[in-house]
Amino acid sequence: MLATHPADIWILTETHDDLTPAGCSHRAHSLPRPKNWNGIRSGSRWVSIWSTFPILETIALEGSDRERTLVVKLATGSDRPLLVYGTVLPWKGDRGAFNWDEHHRVIQQQSLEWQAIAAQFPDADLVIAGDYNTDMGTGRHYGTKRGIADLNRNLSECKLYCATAPEHLPPDILPYPPIDHIALPSAWRGRTRIASAWPADRKTHSDHSGLVLQIDDY
């Protein structure tokens, strides 16, 4: 799928070091996933970022979850570097919870990190991408109204918008709303579109769908 739908930057979640997108010679990984069940192989990661653009640095925020988040600064050739924050937000029942409490808590925690990054690098553009574990619509497919509202509010406070929310998807491009999303600077809204997408295929590829965004004149 990655070869069929090429991109300059890939934010992969629940991935493995062996999965290498063609043409992306620059990479960064979150810390290895803990081997807390027998399906976790050595080299498994919650988040990996692959890029055709050089990675200037990997940014380690104090107190951040370095297993489930990863932040890199890329040199894209623009006069503004690009900060990519890759994440896997908690799902319902994650970490022993029986509800969405952990999801709601981590949204607030990570939003403070987004704000800190934006303040630390005012001359860079910020992207928040990965497994949001919510449909970013109504929550009827997956997620909660509270989580979606919190995400949208916190993204807006960072001058970002979710470019893969259901209202931005072409009709019938996917059979179900995605729970993996990409938030971009609001100033890019008029020159961003969904370039391609593919549905989940648990047996062959992944139980998550995939999305590629195209940003014109970046």
First vs last C-alpha separation in the chain: 24
Q: Is the pLDDT of residue 162 over 90?
A: yes
- 4 in any annotated domain: no
- pTM of the model as a whole: 0.95
Residue 76 CB-density burial (10 A; 0-12 exposed, 13-18 middle, 19+ buried): middle
- 139 in any annotated domain: yes
Range of the domain at 46: 9-215
CATH number for the domain harbouring residue 40: 3.60.10.10
- For residues 204 and 52, what is the distance between their CA atoms, to the nearest angstrom? 26
- 16 in any annotated domain: yes
Q: Is the pLDDT of residue 4 over 90?
A: no
- 190 in any annotated domain: yes
| % helix, strand, coil for the chain, step of 5 | 20, 30, 50
- 126 in any annotated domain: yes
When pLDDT is averaged across residues 145-170 and rounded to a whole number, the result is: 97
| Residue at token pair 């259901």 | 166
pLDDT band at 120; cut points 50, 70, 90: very high
- Count structural domains, the chain: 1
- 2 in any annotated domain: no
- 210 in any annotated domain: yes
When pLDDT is averaged across residues 39-62 and rounded to a whole number, the result is: 95
- 1 in any annotated domain: no
- For residues 129 and 117, what is the distance between their CA atoms, to the nearest angstrom? 14
When pLDDT is averaged across residues 91-106 and rounded to a whole number, the result is: 92
| Residue at token pair 């952990």 | 102
- For residues 218 and 214, what is the distance between their CA atoms, to the nearest angstrom? 10
Q: What mean pLDDT, rounded, does the chain reach? A: 94
